[in-house]
Structure 1
Amino acid sequence: MTTLQIRLLAIIAIAIGAFFLFDLDQWLTLERVKAESARLTAYRDAHPLLATLTYAAIYIAVTGLSLPGATVLTLAGGALFGLLWGTLIVSFASSIGATLAFLAARFLFRDTVAARFGDRLAAIDAGLAKDGPYYLFTLRLVPLFPFFAINLAMGLTSIKTLTFYWVSQVGMLAGTLVYVNAGTQLAKVDSMSGILSPPLVGAFALLGLFPLAAKKLLEILPR
């Protein structure tokens, strides 16, 4: 590793360590957000622009550092800003944070992984060069795949940063809408597991697989 890589890794490690050392994770629980809802709403009413910027910055930091709490923050976005603005803010904040995590993984670990698993990584890169946006879109739509794991794994590939960003933003939009909408009725949300029903997860999976299946079908059809 270069000196710059070591410094960046140290900064990330310190930030993550401080998050847990000072128990900041307790603020990113469903129970805490519901308990503080009235105070947060009052602050938003008094300082709308500052509240928006602060919320977006926290969301970007949490997702960029791959910390737990993004789902709760999405619910909070719905509760604080409503469906339209909440979706807009979360969509950009989550995509920016995901891209930062993606870039960090690429800068810190891509060369190391390539040196050790060069042949395998080359094969993966070849597949992603052809179908990368479709695979990423499917992964983003299916809630079974962890948000942070996709960011880090894609950072180890050769997929272009701009492609990663816009496909992530489009692919995560449906899930964002569901959680932000649930957040607008925060008082009625008793658990995170009840937000996404099995039929809804299945619908997301089918929606995510459709572009890839359509592309494959077009490739095998006679021209």
Structure 2
Amino acid sequence: MSAASDKISTRSDRSRLLRFAPIAVVVAGLAVAYAMGLHEVLSLDYLSERREQLHAFVADNPLSSLIGFLLVYALAVALAFPAASILTVFAGLLFGWLLGGAVVAVAATLGATVLFLAARSAFGSLLRERLGERATRLAAGFEEDAFGYLLVLRLAPIFPFWVINIAPAFFHVPLRIYILATFVGILPGTFAYAYLGQGLESVLMAAEQSGRDISLRDLITPEITIAFVALALVAAIPTVVKKFRNRKAD
């Protein structure tokens, strides 16, 4: 009887370790990235100082540059590394707004999906067990129209990108819905940032001539922010109408 219990306990421990292994890899990767100083490399100042070398490398190696950029971007998103906006801007600078935006959309969706799967494996069921009925009611509301909820969250620049990547992992959101809503939802913002990047060269040159530093905030205008919010409001209309009809029917 004791031997059987030991076997069950061993299997349970292995299952627990396997469940947390993906998120442990993510956390370890993030720690290594910071230890290597990548937060300084993937910055607007560092990349802008080396834009001529980057332009030359892209011109000499167009295909490998695209593939390499896609992998770096996907890895940064999968590790929840805070560089997505800056890398999107530089995608527009290096590859043009159309090609750069397309590469970023694929890479961001790929990286977000990896992080989503890692978080769901580690914390999805655990959070439900801890929160009980309240989490069940919240999950039911979210899962009723997961695509609509995710689309609104993706369109509205209210929460950090990595937060929205992880949050759906706490609910039973189908993987295909997550991928589709993520890809579609990030397209407007992705191409907007890539378009900003395409015109970044003149902004950087003007900043260098004036001797002042430039930050990402200098590129984000109130008009762009208002446009993102408007897109989110439009996307929210079907979800709100559906909820209103359901309450009326009840």
SS of aligned partner of 1:193:
helix
1:201 aligns with 2:225: yes
Q: Which residue matches 1:124?
A: 138
Q: Aligned AA for 2:140?
A: A
C-alpha deviations, 1:25-64, integer Å up to 9, x for none? Answer: 1111101111111111111111111111110000000001
Query: What number of residue pairs does the alignment pair up?
Result: 222
8 Å CA contact retained: 1:16, 1:67: yes
Number of the residue aligned with 2:105? 91
CA drift of 1:199 comes to 3.3
Q: What is the TM-score normalised by the length of structure 1?
A: 0.92
Calculate the aligned-residue CA RMSD, in Å: 1.9
In the superposition, relative to structure 1, how do residues 39 and 106 fare at CA in structure 2: closer, same or farther (>3 Å)? same
**Paired residue for 1:155, among 160, 164, 169?**
169
Alignment partner, residue 24 of structure 1: 38
**Cα offset, 1:136, TM superposition:** 1.2
Could you tell me which amino acid in structure 2 is paired with residue 211 of structure 1? A
Instruction: State the shift of 1:217 in Å.
Output: 3.5
Question: By how many angstroms is 1:215 displaced?
Answer: 4.5
For residue 2 of structure 1, give the secondary structure of its aligned residue in structure 2.
helix
Residue 52 (structure 2) aligns with: 38
Q: Residues 88 and 26 of structure 1: is their aligned pair in 2 closer, same or farther, counting only changes over 3 Å?
A: same
In structure 2, the gaps of 5 or more residues are 1-14, 205-213
* TM-aligned CA distance change 1:211 to 1:79, over 3 Å: closer
Per-residue deviation at 1:69?
A: 0.7
Q: Does 1:100 find its partner at 2:81?
A: no
Alpha-carbon deviations, 1:38-95, whole Å to 9, x = none? 1111111111111111100000000011011111111111111111110110011011
For structure 1, the residue ranges without an aligned partner over 5 or more in a row are: none
- Select 2:65's aligned residue among 51, 54, 66: 51
Secondary structure of 1:42's counterpart equals: helix
Instruction: Measure the CA separation in 2 of the matches of 1:2 and 1:215.
Output: 37
Greater Rg by CA: 2
Residue pairs, 1:167-182, within 5 angstroms:
167-182=181-196
TM-score (normalised: structure 2): 0.82
What is the CA-CA distance between 1:152 and the residue it aligns to?
0.9
What is the identity percentage for the equivalent residue pairs of Structure 1 and Structure 2?
A: 29
Q: 1:118 to 1:144 in 2, by over 3 A?
A: same
Matched, 1:217 2:231: no
Q: Is the 8 A contact 1:138 1:205 kept in 2?
A: no
Q: Is the 8 A contact 2:27 2:79 kept in 1?
A: no
Report if aligned partners of 1:74, 1:176 keep a CA contact under 8 Å in 2.
Answer: yes
One-letter amino acid of the structure 2 residue matched with residue 205 of structure 1? V
Is the Cα–Cα contact under 8 Å of residues 59 and 70 in structure 1 kept in the other structure? yes
Q: Which shifted more, 210-219 or 79-88?
A: 210-219
Residues 1:142 and 2:156 aligned together:
yes
Q: Which amino acid is the alignment partner of residue 106 of structure 1?
A: R
For residues 177 and 58 of structure 2, the distance between their equivalents in structure 1, rounded to whole angstroms, comes to 34
